Chains A and B, each alone.
Chain A
Amino acid sequence: MNLLNDLANPVRFERYARMIFPAVLGFALLTGAAGLYFALFNSPADYQQGEAVRIMYVHVPAAWMSMFCYSVMAGASAVGFIWKHPLADVAAKETAPLGAGFTILALFTGSLWGKPMWGAWWVWDARLTSVLVLLFLYLGYMALWRAIPDKARAARLAAILAIVGFVNVPVIKFSVEWWNSLHQPASIIRADGPTIDGAMLTPLLLMIAAYMSAYVAMLLPSIRNELTARRLARLQFVDETRAAELVEQ
Protein backbone atom coordinates (compact mmCIF):
# COMPACT_ATOMS: atom_id res chain seq x y z
CA MET A 1 0.00 0.00 0.00
CA ASN A 2 2.91 2.38 0.37
CA LEU A 3 2.79 3.09 -3.37
CA LEU A 4 -0.73 4.42 -2.87
CA ASN A 5 0.22 6.86 -0.16
CA ASP A 6 3.43 7.53 -2.02
CA LEU A 7 1.30 8.81 -4.83
CA ALA A 8 -0.78 10.80 -2.40
CA ASN A 9 1.82 13.48 -2.28
CA PRO A 10 1.61 15.35 -5.55
CA VAL A 11 5.30 16.18 -5.80
CA ARG A 12 6.31 12.53 -5.76
CA PHE A 13 3.52 11.72 -8.22
CA GLU A 14 4.85 14.31 -10.63
CA ARG A 15 8.30 12.78 -10.46
CA TYR A 16 6.86 9.30 -11.28
CA ALA A 17 4.68 10.78 -14.01
CA ARG A 18 7.53 12.62 -15.67
CA MET A 19 9.60 9.44 -15.55
CA ILE A 20 7.16 7.02 -17.17
CA PHE A 21 5.36 9.39 -19.55
CA PRO A 22 7.83 9.13 -22.49
CA ALA A 23 7.97 5.34 -22.19
CA VAL A 24 4.19 5.02 -22.16
CA LEU A 25 3.78 7.39 -25.07
CA GLY A 26 6.40 5.51 -27.07
CA PHE A 27 4.75 2.19 -26.31
CA ALA A 28 1.38 3.55 -27.40
CA LEU A 29 2.73 4.80 -30.73
CA LEU A 30 4.58 1.55 -31.35
CA THR A 31 1.67 -0.78 -30.62
CA GLY A 32 -0.69 1.56 -32.46
CA ALA A 33 1.40 1.51 -35.61
CA ALA A 34 1.89 -2.26 -35.47
CA GLY A 35 -1.78 -2.81 -34.78
CA LEU A 36 -2.87 -0.65 -37.69
CA TYR A 37 -0.42 -2.35 -40.02
CA PHE A 38 -1.74 -5.79 -39.09
CA ALA A 39 -5.32 -4.63 -39.16
CA LEU A 40 -5.21 -3.00 -42.56
CA PHE A 41 -2.81 -5.15 -44.51
CA ASN A 42 -1.97 -8.36 -42.80
CA SER A 43 -5.29 -9.96 -41.78
CA PRO A 44 -8.00 -11.78 -43.75
CA ALA A 45 -11.26 -10.13 -44.77
CA ASP A 46 -14.18 -11.66 -42.92
CA TYR A 47 -16.00 -14.44 -44.86
CA GLN A 48 -19.31 -12.66 -44.42
CA GLN A 49 -18.57 -8.96 -43.94
CA GLY A 50 -15.64 -8.65 -46.34
CA GLU A 51 -13.45 -5.57 -45.84
CA ALA A 52 -15.96 -3.93 -43.54
CA VAL A 53 -14.73 -6.06 -40.69
CA ARG A 54 -11.54 -3.96 -40.45
CA ILE A 55 -13.50 -1.31 -38.59
CA MET A 56 -13.72 -3.92 -35.83
CA TYR A 57 -10.06 -3.29 -34.96
CA VAL A 58 -10.92 0.27 -34.05
CA HIS A 59 -14.44 -0.35 -32.74
CA VAL A 60 -13.95 -3.26 -30.37
CA PRO A 61 -10.95 -1.78 -28.46
CA ALA A 62 -12.81 1.54 -28.17
CA ALA A 63 -15.91 -0.16 -26.76
CA TRP A 64 -13.72 -2.15 -24.40
CA MET A 65 -11.83 0.99 -23.28
CA SER A 66 -15.08 2.88 -22.64
CA MET A 67 -16.02 0.21 -20.12
CA PHE A 68 -12.47 -0.03 -18.71
CA CYS A 69 -12.25 3.73 -18.15
CA TYR A 70 -15.60 3.76 -16.35
CA SER A 71 -14.41 1.01 -14.02
CA VAL A 72 -11.14 2.90 -13.36
CA MET A 73 -13.22 6.02 -12.70
CA ALA A 74 -15.45 4.19 -10.24
CA GLY A 75 -12.47 2.53 -8.54
CA ALA A 76 -10.54 5.77 -8.19
CA SER A 77 -13.69 7.49 -6.92
CA ALA A 78 -14.13 4.83 -4.25
CA VAL A 79 -10.50 5.18 -3.13
CA GLY A 80 -10.85 8.96 -3.15
CA PHE A 81 -14.14 8.88 -1.23
CA ILE A 82 -13.22 6.31 1.42
CA TRP A 83 -9.58 7.18 2.08
CA LYS A 84 -9.85 10.84 1.04
CA HIS A 85 -6.98 10.30 -1.38
CA PRO A 86 -6.71 13.62 -3.31
CA LEU A 87 -4.88 12.10 -6.24
CA ALA A 88 -7.55 9.42 -6.72
CA ASP A 89 -10.19 12.14 -7.08
CA VAL A 90 -8.12 13.89 -9.71
CA ALA A 91 -7.46 10.61 -11.54
CA ALA A 92 -11.18 9.87 -11.63
CA LYS A 93 -11.98 13.38 -12.79
CA GLU A 94 -9.41 13.28 -15.57
CA THR A 95 -10.35 9.75 -16.67
CA ALA A 96 -13.94 10.75 -17.41
CA PRO A 97 -13.34 12.84 -20.56
CA LEU A 98 -10.97 10.17 -21.92
CA GLY A 99 -13.55 7.47 -21.23
CA ALA A 100 -16.25 9.56 -22.88
CA GLY A 101 -13.94 10.03 -25.86
CA PHE A 102 -13.50 6.27 -26.22
CA THR A 103 -17.27 5.82 -25.92
CA ILE A 104 -17.95 8.33 -28.69
CA LEU A 105 -15.27 6.65 -30.83
CA ALA A 106 -16.93 3.29 -30.19
CA LEU A 107 -20.36 4.66 -31.13
CA PHE A 108 -19.02 6.35 -34.24
CA THR A 109 -17.10 3.34 -35.50
CA GLY A 110 -20.00 1.10 -34.46
CA SER A 111 -22.40 2.92 -36.73
CA LEU A 112 -19.76 3.06 -39.49
CA TRP A 113 -19.51 -0.69 -39.21
CA GLY A 114 -23.28 -1.14 -39.03
CA LYS A 115 -24.00 0.81 -42.23
CA PRO A 116 -22.74 -1.85 -44.69
CA MET A 117 -24.29 -4.73 -42.75
CA TRP A 118 -27.58 -3.52 -41.33
CA GLY A 119 -28.13 -0.84 -43.94
CA ALA A 120 -28.65 1.83 -41.30
CA TRP A 121 -26.34 4.30 -39.60
CA TRP A 122 -27.81 3.48 -36.22
CA VAL A 123 -29.27 0.15 -35.21
CA TRP A 124 -30.67 -0.33 -31.70
CA ASP A 125 -28.38 -3.28 -31.27
CA ALA A 126 -27.93 -4.29 -27.65
CA ARG A 127 -24.21 -3.56 -27.51
CA LEU A 128 -24.38 -0.20 -29.25
CA THR A 129 -27.29 0.87 -27.06
CA SER A 130 -25.44 -0.06 -23.87
CA VAL A 131 -22.45 1.99 -25.02
CA LEU A 132 -24.82 4.91 -25.71
CA VAL A 133 -26.24 4.70 -22.18
CA LEU A 134 -22.70 4.51 -20.83
CA LEU A 135 -21.99 7.77 -22.64
CA PHE A 136 -24.84 9.41 -20.71
CA LEU A 137 -23.34 8.11 -17.47
CA TYR A 138 -20.08 9.83 -18.40
CA LEU A 139 -21.88 13.06 -19.35
CA GLY A 140 -23.79 13.08 -16.05
CA TYR A 141 -20.53 12.58 -14.11
CA MET A 142 -18.70 15.35 -15.96
CA ALA A 143 -21.69 17.70 -15.74
CA LEU A 144 -21.81 17.20 -11.96
CA TRP A 145 -18.10 18.04 -11.63
CA ARG A 146 -18.48 21.18 -13.66
CA ALA A 147 -21.65 22.31 -11.92
CA ILE A 148 -20.19 22.41 -8.40
CA PRO A 149 -17.80 25.27 -7.69
CA ASP A 150 -16.22 23.82 -4.57
CA LYS A 151 -13.80 21.15 -5.87
CA ALA A 152 -13.52 19.28 -2.57
CA ARG A 153 -17.29 18.82 -2.41
CA ALA A 154 -17.56 18.12 -6.14
CA ALA A 155 -15.06 15.29 -5.72
CA ARG A 156 -17.12 13.59 -3.03
CA LEU A 157 -20.41 13.97 -4.88
CA ALA A 158 -19.01 12.87 -8.23
CA ALA A 159 -17.49 9.87 -6.49
CA ILE A 160 -20.91 8.87 -5.16
CA LEU A 161 -22.41 9.23 -8.64
CA ALA A 162 -19.60 7.20 -10.22
CA ILE A 163 -20.09 4.38 -7.70
CA VAL A 164 -23.89 4.43 -8.10
CA GLY A 165 -23.42 4.45 -11.88
CA PHE A 166 -20.93 1.61 -11.77
CA VAL A 167 -23.20 -0.56 -9.64
CA ASN A 168 -26.02 0.04 -12.14
CA VAL A 169 -24.00 -0.74 -15.30
CA PRO A 170 -24.66 -4.51 -15.17
CA VAL A 171 -28.37 -3.88 -14.54
CA ILE A 172 -28.47 -1.47 -17.49
CA LYS A 173 -26.55 -3.87 -19.73
CA PHE A 174 -28.87 -6.73 -18.84
CA SER A 175 -31.99 -4.65 -19.36
CA VAL A 176 -30.81 -3.47 -22.79
CA GLU A 177 -29.98 -7.04 -23.85
CA TRP A 178 -33.37 -8.14 -22.51
CA TRP A 179 -35.07 -5.25 -24.29
CA ASN A 180 -33.29 -6.16 -27.49
CA SER A 181 -34.23 -9.81 -27.28
CA LEU A 182 -37.81 -8.90 -26.40
CA HIS A 183 -38.45 -7.10 -29.67
CA GLN A 184 -36.14 -9.07 -31.85
CA PRO A 185 -35.38 -12.43 -30.29
CA ALA A 186 -31.92 -12.82 -31.83
CA SER A 187 -30.01 -10.06 -33.54
CA ILE A 188 -29.72 -11.01 -37.16
CA ILE A 189 -26.06 -10.16 -37.50
CA ARG A 190 -23.96 -10.15 -34.34
CA ALA A 191 -21.52 -7.22 -34.25
CA ASP A 192 -18.36 -9.04 -33.25
CA GLY A 193 -19.14 -12.47 -34.76
CA PRO A 194 -19.16 -15.66 -32.72
CA THR A 195 -15.49 -16.48 -33.06
CA ILE A 196 -12.40 -14.52 -34.08
CA ASP A 197 -9.80 -16.67 -35.71
CA GLY A 198 -6.08 -16.28 -34.86
CA ALA A 199 -5.09 -13.98 -37.71
CA MET A 200 -7.58 -11.38 -36.53
CA LEU A 201 -6.59 -11.67 -32.87
CA THR A 202 -3.08 -10.21 -33.09
CA PRO A 203 -4.11 -6.83 -34.55
CA LEU A 204 -6.94 -6.66 -32.06
CA LEU A 205 -4.70 -7.25 -29.05
CA LEU A 206 -2.14 -4.79 -30.42
CA MET A 207 -4.84 -2.17 -30.82
CA ILE A 208 -6.12 -2.74 -27.28
CA ALA A 209 -2.58 -2.33 -25.91
CA ALA A 210 -2.21 0.83 -28.00
CA TYR A 211 -5.50 2.26 -26.69
CA MET A 212 -4.57 1.39 -23.12
CA SER A 213 -1.18 3.05 -23.24
CA ALA A 214 -2.63 6.02 -25.13
CA TYR A 215 -5.12 6.41 -22.26
CA VAL A 216 -2.34 6.44 -19.68
CA ALA A 217 -0.24 8.76 -21.84
CA MET A 218 -3.13 11.21 -22.01
CA LEU A 219 -4.10 10.79 -18.35
CA LEU A 220 -0.73 11.66 -16.78
CA PRO A 221 -0.33 15.19 -18.18
CA SER A 222 -3.99 16.06 -17.51
CA ILE A 223 -3.58 14.99 -13.88
CA ARG A 224 -0.49 17.16 -13.63
CA ASN A 225 -2.36 20.12 -15.10
CA GLU A 226 -5.22 19.68 -12.66
CA LEU A 227 -2.82 19.45 -9.72
CA THR A 228 -1.00 22.63 -10.71
CA ALA A 229 -4.32 24.40 -11.35
CA ARG A 230 -5.48 23.49 -7.84
CA ARG A 231 -2.18 24.52 -6.30
CA LEU A 232 -2.51 27.93 -8.01
CA ALA A 233 -6.07 28.29 -6.78
CA ARG A 234 -5.02 27.50 -3.22
CA LEU A 235 -2.04 29.95 -3.38
CA GLN A 236 -4.37 32.66 -4.45
CA PHE A 237 -6.47 32.14 -1.31
CA VAL A 238 -3.77 31.73 1.24
CA ASP A 239 -2.18 35.10 1.04
CA GLU A 240 -5.51 36.94 1.20
CA THR A 241 -7.01 35.44 4.35
CA ARG A 242 -5.56 33.25 7.03
CA ALA A 243 -7.61 30.74 8.95
CA ALA A 244 -9.27 32.34 12.01
CA GLU A 245 -8.53 31.29 15.58
CA LEU A 246 -10.60 31.55 18.74
CA VAL A 247 -9.34 33.80 21.51
CA GLU A 248 -11.18 34.23 24.84
CA GLN A 249 -11.43 37.93 25.79
Chain B
Amino acid sequence: MTRKQKRTFLLFAVFIAAGLALGLTLTALRTSITYFYTPSELLVLDAPPANTIRLGGLVEDGSLVHGEMSGVDVKNAVVSFTVTDGGATTAVRYAGLLPDLFREGQGVIVQGRLDERGTLIADTVLAKHDENYMPKEVMDALKEQGLWQDGEEVGS
Protein backbone atom coordinates (compact mmCIF):
# COMPACT_ATOMS: atom_id res chain seq x y z
CA MET B 1 0.00 0.00 0.00
CA THR B 2 1.25 3.45 -0.78
CA ARG B 3 2.94 5.72 1.63
CA LYS B 4 -0.13 7.93 1.90
CA GLN B 5 -2.35 4.99 2.84
CA LYS B 6 0.20 3.90 5.42
CA ARG B 7 0.22 7.35 6.98
CA THR B 8 -3.55 7.56 7.30
CA PHE B 9 -3.70 4.03 8.69
CA LEU B 10 -1.09 4.98 11.30
CA LEU B 11 -2.84 8.17 12.24
CA PHE B 12 -5.98 6.11 12.72
CA ALA B 13 -4.07 3.63 14.93
CA VAL B 14 -2.67 6.46 17.06
CA PHE B 15 -6.16 7.85 17.62
CA ILE B 16 -7.45 4.42 18.62
CA ALA B 17 -4.56 3.94 21.05
CA ALA B 18 -5.04 7.40 22.55
CA GLY B 19 -8.77 6.85 22.95
CA LEU B 20 -8.22 3.46 24.54
CA ALA B 21 -5.64 4.87 26.95
CA LEU B 22 -8.04 7.63 27.96
CA GLY B 23 -10.91 5.20 28.39
CA LEU B 24 -8.81 2.88 30.51
CA THR B 25 -7.69 5.74 32.75
CA LEU B 26 -11.22 7.03 33.25
CA THR B 27 -12.66 3.61 34.06
CA ALA B 28 -9.75 2.95 36.41
CA LEU B 29 -10.43 6.21 38.22
CA ARG B 30 -14.15 5.58 38.45
CA THR B 31 -13.79 2.10 39.92
CA SER B 32 -11.08 3.16 42.36
CA ILE B 33 -13.17 5.88 44.00
CA THR B 34 -15.67 3.45 45.43
CA TYR B 35 -13.09 0.90 46.27
CA PHE B 36 -13.98 0.83 49.88
CA TYR B 37 -17.22 -0.39 51.42
CA THR B 38 -19.35 1.15 54.13
CA PRO B 39 -20.95 -1.22 56.69
CA SER B 40 -24.41 -0.81 55.09
CA GLU B 41 -22.99 -1.63 51.65
CA LEU B 42 -21.50 -4.78 53.14
CA LEU B 43 -24.83 -5.77 54.60
CA VAL B 44 -26.61 -5.39 51.31
CA LEU B 45 -24.09 -7.53 49.37
CA ASP B 46 -25.51 -11.01 48.84
CA ALA B 47 -22.15 -12.83 48.87
CA PRO B 48 -19.57 -11.26 51.18
CA PRO B 49 -16.38 -10.56 49.15
CA ALA B 50 -13.82 -13.30 49.84
CA ASN B 51 -10.71 -11.22 49.25
CA THR B 52 -9.22 -8.26 51.07
CA ILE B 53 -11.56 -5.29 51.17
CA ARG B 54 -11.54 -1.85 52.69
CA LEU B 55 -14.14 -0.71 55.17
CA GLY B 56 -14.67 2.96 55.92
CA GLY B 57 -16.72 4.67 58.61
CA LEU B 58 -16.70 5.85 62.22
CA VAL B 59 -15.53 3.80 65.21
CA GLU B 60 -18.72 3.28 67.19
CA ASP B 61 -18.56 4.81 70.67
CA GLY B 62 -18.15 2.21 73.41
CA SER B 63 -17.42 -0.61 71.00
CA LEU B 64 -13.63 -0.65 71.56
CA VAL B 65 -12.48 -3.79 73.52
CA HIS B 66 -8.77 -4.10 74.28
CA GLY B 67 -6.52 -6.93 75.27
CA GLU B 68 -8.73 -9.85 74.43
CA MET B 69 -6.11 -12.60 74.03
CA SER B 70 -6.82 -14.76 71.03
CA GLY B 71 -5.66 -18.35 71.53
CA VAL B 72 -3.54 -18.39 68.43
CA ASP B 73 -1.72 -15.12 68.58
CA VAL B 74 -0.60 -14.32 72.11
CA LYS B 75 2.11 -11.90 70.96
CA ASN B 76 -0.01 -8.87 70.14
CA ALA B 77 -3.24 -8.11 71.91
CA VAL B 78 -6.33 -8.47 69.77
CA VAL B 79 -8.57 -5.43 69.60
CA SER B 80 -12.17 -5.57 68.56
CA PHE B 81 -14.46 -2.69 67.72
CA THR B 82 -17.36 -1.98 65.42
CA VAL B 83 -17.39 0.43 62.51
CA THR B 84 -20.57 2.22 61.74
CA ASP B 85 -21.81 4.56 59.03
CA GLY B 86 -25.07 5.29 60.86
CA GLY B 87 -26.93 2.71 58.79
CA ALA B 88 -25.27 -0.54 59.78
CA THR B 89 -22.30 -1.78 61.78
CA THR B 90 -19.53 -4.26 61.05
CA ALA B 91 -17.51 -5.96 63.76
CA VAL B 92 -13.77 -5.72 63.31
CA ARG B 93 -11.01 -7.71 64.99
CA TYR B 94 -7.44 -6.45 64.64
CA ALA B 95 -4.21 -7.92 66.03
CA GLY B 96 -1.49 -5.30 66.11
CA LEU B 97 -0.64 -1.78 67.08
CA LEU B 98 -3.43 0.71 66.68
CA PRO B 99 -2.32 4.06 65.27
CA ASP B 100 -2.21 6.64 68.09
CA LEU B 101 -4.78 8.81 66.31
CA PHE B 102 -7.34 5.97 66.53
CA ARG B 103 -10.18 6.83 68.95
CA GLU B 104 -13.83 6.10 69.28
CA GLY B 105 -15.97 8.44 67.28
CA GLN B 106 -13.10 8.99 64.82
CA GLY B 107 -13.16 8.31 61.08
CA VAL B 108 -11.26 5.14 60.14
CA ILE B 109 -10.50 2.89 57.17
CA VAL B 110 -9.84 -0.75 57.90
CA GLN B 111 -8.41 -3.23 55.43
CA GLY B 112 -8.79 -6.99 55.80
CA ARG B 113 -10.89 -10.06 55.01
CA LEU B 114 -14.35 -11.00 56.19
CA ASP B 115 -14.57 -14.28 58.13
CA GLU B 116 -17.59 -16.61 57.98
CA ARG B 117 -19.41 -14.71 60.79
CA GLY B 118 -19.03 -11.46 58.84
CA THR B 119 -16.42 -10.02 61.14
CA LEU B 120 -13.62 -8.19 59.38
CA ILE B 121 -10.22 -9.63 60.33
CA ALA B 122 -8.16 -6.51 59.69
CA ASP B 123 -4.48 -6.41 58.73
CA THR B 124 -4.24 -2.62 58.51
CA VAL B 125 -6.06 0.16 60.32
CA LEU B 126 -5.68 3.76 59.17
CA ALA B 127 -6.89 6.56 61.42
CA LYS B 128 -7.24 10.29 60.72
CA HIS B 129 -6.07 13.31 62.71
CA ASP B 130 -9.16 15.45 62.31
CA GLU B 131 -12.13 15.75 60.05
CA ASN B 132 -10.82 17.79 57.18
CA TYR B 133 -8.31 15.13 56.33
CA MET B 134 -10.90 12.43 56.14
CA PRO B 135 -10.87 11.14 52.56
CA LYS B 136 -13.62 12.71 50.55
CA GLU B 137 -15.19 9.36 49.82
CA VAL B 138 -15.75 8.64 53.50
CA MET B 139 -17.23 12.09 53.91
CA ASP B 140 -19.64 11.60 51.02
CA ALA B 141 -20.60 8.15 52.26
CA LEU B 142 -21.30 9.49 55.76
CA LYS B 143 -23.28 12.38 54.34
CA GLU B 144 -25.45 9.96 52.42
CA GLN B 145 -26.21 8.26 55.68
CA GLY B 146 -27.28 11.67 57.04
CA LEU B 147 -24.79 11.19 59.90
CA TRP B 148 -22.78 14.16 58.84
CA GLN B 149 -23.81 17.80 58.89
CA ASP B 150 -21.49 20.17 57.11
CA GLY B 151 -19.14 22.14 59.29
CA GLU B 152 -20.04 20.22 62.45
CA GLU B 153 -16.91 19.63 64.57
CA VAL B 154 -16.29 15.94 65.16
CA GLY B 155 -13.68 14.42 67.41
CA SER B 156 -11.09 16.52 69.29
Interface-located stretch among A97-105, A124-132, A183-191: A183-191
Tell whether B135 is near chain A: CB-to-CB under 8 Å: yes
Max count, chain B CB within 10 A of own CB: residue among A186, A189, A194: A186
- Are the CB atoms of B101 and A188 closer together than 8 Å? yes
Query: CB within 8 A of A185: which of B101, B126, B129, B132?
Result: B126
Do residues A186 and B135 form an inter-chain contact, with CB atoms below 8 A? yes
Residue of A nearest to B132 (CB): A194
Pair A184/B126 contact, Cβ less than 8 Å: yes
Count of residues in B whose CB is under 8 Å from the partner chain: 12
Residue pair B126, A190 in contact (C-beta under 8 Å)? no
Bound-state Cα–Cα, A194 to B126, Å: 20
- For residue B127, which residue of chain A has the nearest CB? A188
Tally A-B pairs: CB < 8 A. 21
Question: Quick one: closest A residue to B25, CB to CB?
Answer: A174
Docked complex: A140-198 residues within 8 A CB-CB of B: 178, 184-190, 194
Which range holds the interface residue count of chain A?
under 10
Quick one: which of A185, A188, A190 has the most chain B CB within 10 A?
A185
In the assembled complex, B109 has its CB within 8 A of some CB on chain A? yes
* Smallest Cβ-Cβ distance to A186: which chain B residue: B135
In the complex, the answer to whether A188 meets B109 with C-beta atoms within 8 Å is no
A-B residue pairs in contact (CB < 8 Å), sample of 11: A184-B126, A185-B36, A185-B54, A185-B126, A186-B128, A186-B133, A187-B133, A188-B101, A188-B128, A188-B133, A189-B129
Q: A186-B126, A187-B133, A188-B129 are in contact. List 17 more A-B contacts (CB 8 A).
A: A178-B32, A184-B126, A185-B36, A185-B54, A185-B109, A185-B126, A185-B135, A186-B128, A186-B134, A186-B135, A188-B101, A188-B128, A188-B133, A189-B129, A189-B133, A190-B133, A194-B132
